[in-house]
Each structure stands twice: as C-alpha cells, then as structure tokens.
Structure 1
Amino acid sequence: MSSILESINSTVTPAASYIGTYAKLSDAHADTLNIVERVWASYFVWWGNDLIACGIFIFLLHEILYFGRCVPWMILDQIPYFHKWKIQGEAKVPSVAEQWECMKSVLISHFMVEAIPIWGFYPVCKYAGISIDVPFPSWMKICAHLALFFVLEDTWHYWLHRGLHYGPFYKHIHKQHHRYAAPFGLTAEYAHPVEVALLGVGTVGIPIAWVMLTGDLHLFTVSVWIALRLFQAIDAHSGYEFPVSLHHFLPIWAGADHHDDHHRYFTGNYASSFRWWDFVLDTEAGPAAKAERQQRLAAKAAKKAKKQQ
C-alpha cells in the first residue's frame, strides 16, 4: 500500500463488511478525506490485498460501465420514436438476435482475453509508479491528464487503425470488426483479440508510459480515463446522431456520425475521438469528403494545365 493508506490500515481495523470498514474509516478521517476518497480508501483497507482489490475493481469497472452504457442504446433501438435519428435509417436498426449474438462474442472476449491483462494491471501499476494513495490529485491535474490521454490515444488509434486496413491485416484481423456495416453500441469491442490488444495499448499503455516518464499519475485518474474512453467508444458506435450530439458544440469531436461513415464505407475516418488527423491527412470518409477531394484534384489539374499553356 501507499504511505497514507498504510497509515490508515494500521489505525483502522477492517470490519467484516465493507460498510462497516467505511464507517470506521470515516469516523477517523472525515476531516481529512472527502467522501469519494473515503470510499476508495475503505475499499483497499477492507480487501487488505492490493492485487486482488485492484483486479476486481478494474474488471468490474470495465464490465459495469461497458454494458451499463450499451443498455440505453439497446433500449433506444427497440423504441421506434428514436429511429428517426438512426444515421443509416430505420432499416439498419439491429435485431435483438444480432445484439444477443454480438453480446455473447463480447463477453467471451472480456472473460477470455481482456481479463488476463486486467488482473496483471496492479503489478504493472506498482512497477510503473501509479499511485493508489489518498488524497487524490487536484481536479485540475486530473483534467490535464485526461486531456493529454485523449489526444495521445487518438493519435495512436488513427495510425494503428489505418494500418489495420492494409491488406492482410484487414483480412485476418480487422475484418471481424467490420462485420456490422451499421454499428450499434455493443460492437465497440466486437473485434479480433489481436485488435483488442493493440488498441488497448492506447488506452492503458499511454498512461503507463506517461507515469514512467513523469512519476506522476493516480489510479483514480486512470479509472476516470477508462470510463470516459469506454463511453466515447460506445457512443461512437451507437449509430445515432442527435441535435444535442457533442460534435455540434465541439466541432473537433468525432462522434457517431464520423465513425458510422467509417463502417458504412469501410475506409477513412480512422481516428477515435477527434477529427483533425483525418482532416489534415485527407482520409475523411463519405460522399461529401469524396466529392470535395475530386473538386480539389480537378482544380489542381486545371491550374497545372493553365500553367503549361
């Protein structure tokens, strides 16, 4: 355990239940720790084993948030009123059978592929220097780290994703993810195990690399980052475009309309969270982007022909 948690552990004897441990810890540290920090510290004190505590926490965090965010989209798919906002139209609303088949595959991946690195995450955290101590960093620092991770992961995702569309990589790895040309929330992690691992490096590997370079990162920040990244991935695969969708207010944000075109046209729009890589490198997908490229090429050709006259 970290220094303050060690101190708390030596003064607060874990109760038989988590609630009892939280009550005892709150009595002793209500003045120095806020409620979230007390919930966090009580959890690690109650388990008394950081390896088990961290493994269970990360695994449950991932499962609860993933399926908890997918369920609302599944419900919307069953309510005809919302189908007018389905990007590819009502005809592309997935059936219950399709969703169930996808869910089974995702669950197998979660328990047979992703569970292994999740349970090995704490030793890596400890080696890299990720803190589990209390109190937490300031919200300013947490937000700065989150913004950095979003930008770095988006870069990693763009180049790796674009590479996975190259011939044999697409055929043997990435093609599985493109089974659904009209994506829905559950398809966010419907992918080949190799792809899951490679893209997972952007989510988990970047924070680990950051803390090894700086020595400054908290597991709570990593947990918030994982939650936000999951929500972003699921929402991008939702297949819905609403007037209140985030990219209407933050134009650089990719959103479902951006990623939906990637699945519909099978190429372009490789980035995860932002639009700038696809814009700068001219890999935007869809008829509008294609028409704009053709206009630019035509204008360039006309300009070249005029110079040669």
Structure 2
Amino acid sequence: MSVETTGSDVRRAASSSRQEGPGGLWDSVKKAAFVIGSGILFLAAFGNSLTWHLQRFWGASGDFWQNLWTKLYVAFEGHDAALFFLGTMLLPTLTFWLSNALLLLVDITGKPSFITRYRIQVDKNNPVDPVKLRQALKTVIFNQVFISGPMVVAVYYLMSWTGNPCGPELPTFHWALMELAAFSILEEVLFYYSHRLFHHPSLYKHYHKQHHEWTAPIGLVSIYAHPLEHVISNMLPVVIGPVILGSHLSSTSLWYCLALVSTTISHCGYHLPFLPSPEFHDFHHLRFNQCFGVFGILDRLHSTDAKFRQSKQITTDLTVNTVDTHLREMLSNISRLLGRGLSGTYSSKMSREV
C-alpha cells in the first residue's frame, strides 16, 4: 500500500475524529441518553399491546418449543457447557457460513444475474478479487476459532456464575422480545462508540485499517478485522446484553444468530428486495467517516450521517424502494416488448397512491 494512501487514510481518520458538531461530546451523550430513555419508556408503555397479537400466535406453538427444549435439556443433562457451546458457538457459526456461502457463490461466479443486478457498487467485486478473498477467509476463520471461541467460554462461566443460562424452562415470548430490544439498544451504543474510537488516527492505522481494505465490502468481511477490534467492537456489543440480563441460552443463541445475519447483510454489497438495506454501512466503507452505527440512531444524533443523507444512496436506503424501482424496470421492459404503455400506467398509479 502506498505512502500516499496511508497518509490519506490517516487524514480521513483525523477528520472523522473532528466530525462532532457544536456542543461537543457531552451534548451528544445527553442527546443519546434522551433517545435511549425515550425508547425504554416506549417499550414499557406499549410493550404489552405490541406483543399481544404475536403472543396469541406464539401460544399455539409454545408447547412445541418447550417440549423440544426439554428433550435437548435432558439429553445434555449434566453437560451444560456443551449445550451452551452448541447454542452460542456451533449454531451461530453454521448460520454465518450458510448465509455467506450463498453470497460467496454469487461474488465468485457473478451469477445469477437476478441477484448481481442489485449490487450497490456496480463496478466493484465483479468478480471478487481471489487474493483478497483468501486473506479474508484466513482472518475470519482465525477470529472465529481463536477469538470468538475463547470469548464464548468466558461468557459461559460468567453467566453460570451469576445465574443458570441453561435452565429447564424457556423464557416467555413477551420477555424474549423485550430482551431482543434491550440487546439491540446495547449493541447500537457500544458498537457506535467503539467503532468511532477505532477510527481515531492513533488506533485506526494499527487496528481498524485492516477492515477498511474493503471499500466495497462482501458479507464475509463482516468479521474480517484485527483480533483486538474483533473483541471490542464485534464481540463485546453482542455478548454484553445476555450477560447483563442473565438471559436463557435460547434467547442468547437466537440473538447471536440474528446479529451475525444482520452484519452479513450490512456488508453483503447487495440491496436485495425484502431484506434490510445495507446502503448505510456500505456508504461507511465507501466514505469512511460516515455512518458508524448499526441502526443509525446515534449517527443522526452526532450528525455522522450528514453526507449519507445528502447522497443518492439515501433515496434507495428503504427496502421497499428497491422493490418498487425494479418492478418499474420490469414493467418498462414488458411495455417495450408488447408496445403498450404499461410502465406509464403503473407509474401514474404509483404516483397517485404515494
């Protein structure tokens, strides 16, 4: 990598450290506390009504899941550590590799076209660089085996010391939803600030620069990071919630799987219909000093999404926008083939509905 590139990255890191608007850090912390506090009050006020209909649906299958868990619990009786490892390491790892195997097939072959047409940075990773991919694979496997594995062991002993993560009773549906909401809030806060910390010039060049080798990311590089960054910025924001709440293994396992799928989608490079938009984090890899968080809440508070909100990417950030855009294209193609004005009819109809 050239000296000019390194100098440019350091200058960009320096600019990101000065991104804070008027009022400074304390003002931003107060704003963040207000939003998080409001979120907690909202969950407390509307949690019951929000989950009532879902819980009715869950009630019919609740016995099925409890019976399934009971069988698993009895099968592993006296071997809680093995059961915990199965739920928090093996299952999330399989989830990660299954989702990324499908994406890698597209990244390497450039097919099928009905997926590649949704590539965000159309001139990148077409196909993916095999040398960079091999390096990413080595780092990801190292992080999972030698960093994530020991951390899961530490989490097990910590949670066993404070409670019983592998208890015989599953949590209620209502409580599991509340836990997932709390996990998400904690992840947003810890990931945002730890991520910005690694963008400080004194840390970036030693640790976070590795992750930003991919200006156009793919799903696999979601955990392509320096080991220290993987612990502090990737693992800690995810594992801390279940530890604090003393969560059951079922909730913890579900959360780990969701977190890995979420970060894979954020890095995948494809804005696929009906899936959460990865435009926000893709813009971070493209512009470097924007969009540090997971959900964008703290980015809005700290104005670290200002350039993103002024960019063309913001117009396609919503999941429905991509579906509508390509539906228009499909109807336009049909219109040309049939010599009819289907596209105009659809467009005018959509305009009236909007």
Change (3 A) 1:89 1:290: closer
Residue number among 60, 66, 70 corresponding to 1:41 in the alignment? 70
CA distance in 2, matches of 1:101, 1:167: 24
Q: Deviations over 1:199-220 (max 9, x none)?
A: 2111111221233xxxxx3221
Number of aligned residues: 246
Residue number among 301, 304, 307 corresponding to 1:280 in the alignment? 301
The structural deviation recorded for 1:228 is: 0.8
Structure-to-structure mapping, 1:1-309, within 5 angstroms:
34-47=63-76, 48-77=78-107, 78=109, 79-81=111-113, 82-93=115-126, 94-199=128-233, 200-211=235-246, 217-246=247-276, 255-272=277-294, 274-284=295-305, 286=307, 289=310
Letter in 2 for 1:280: L
CA distance in 1, matches of 2:164, 2:203: 34
CA RMSD of aligned residues (A): 2.3
SS in structure 1 of the partner of residue 205 of structure 2 = helix
Q: Is the 2:120–2:269 contact (alpha carbons within 8 Å) kept by the matching residues of 1?
A: yes
The structural deviation recorded for 1:130 is: 4.5
The structural deviation recorded for 1:50 is: 1.1
50-59 vs 112-121, which moves further:
50-59
The structural deviation recorded for 1:175 is: 0.9
Structure 2 alignment gaps of length 5 or more: 1-61, 313-354
Letter in 1 for 2:256: I
Q: Is the 1:55–1:121 contact (alpha carbons within 8 Å) kept by the matching residues of 2?
A: no
CA distance in 1, matches of 2:171, 2:97: 29
The structural deviation recorded for 1:109 is: 1.4
The structural deviation recorded for 1:278 is: 1.1
Q: Is the 2:283–2:308 contact (alpha carbons within 8 Å) kept by the matching residues of 1?
A: no
- Residue of structure 1 in register with 2:45 after alignment: none
Q: Is the 1:158–1:277 contact (alpha carbons within 8 Å) kept by the matching residues of 2?
A: yes
Letter in 1 for 2:159: C
- Residue of structure 2 in register with 1:22 after alignment: none
- Residue of structure 1 in register with 2:7 after alignment: none
Q: Is the 1:262–1:268 contact (alpha carbons within 8 Å) kept by the matching residues of 2?
A: yes
Q: Is the 2:215–2:286 contact (alpha carbons within 8 Å) kept by the matching residues of 1?
A: yes
Q: TM-score, normalised by structure 2?
A: 0.64
Q: Deviations over 1:216-274 (max 9, x none)?
A: x322111111111111111000011134333xxxxxxxx310000101111110002x1
Work out which structure has the larger RCO, using CA pairs closer than 8 Å and 6 or more positions apart in sequence: 2
Q: Deviations over 1:168-196 (max 9, x none)?
A: 11111111111111100000000011111
SS in structure 2 of the partner of residue 242 of structure 1 = coil
Q: TM-score, normalised by structure 1?
A: 0.73
Q: Is the 2:69–2:170 contact (alpha carbons within 8 Å) kept by the matching residues of 1?
A: no
CA distance in 2, matches of 1:87, 1:131: 41
Q: Is the 2:88–2:256 contact (alpha carbons within 8 Å) kept by the matching residues of 1?
A: no
Paired-residue identity, %? 25
Structure 1 alignment gaps of length 5 or more: 1-32, 212-216, 247-254, 292-309
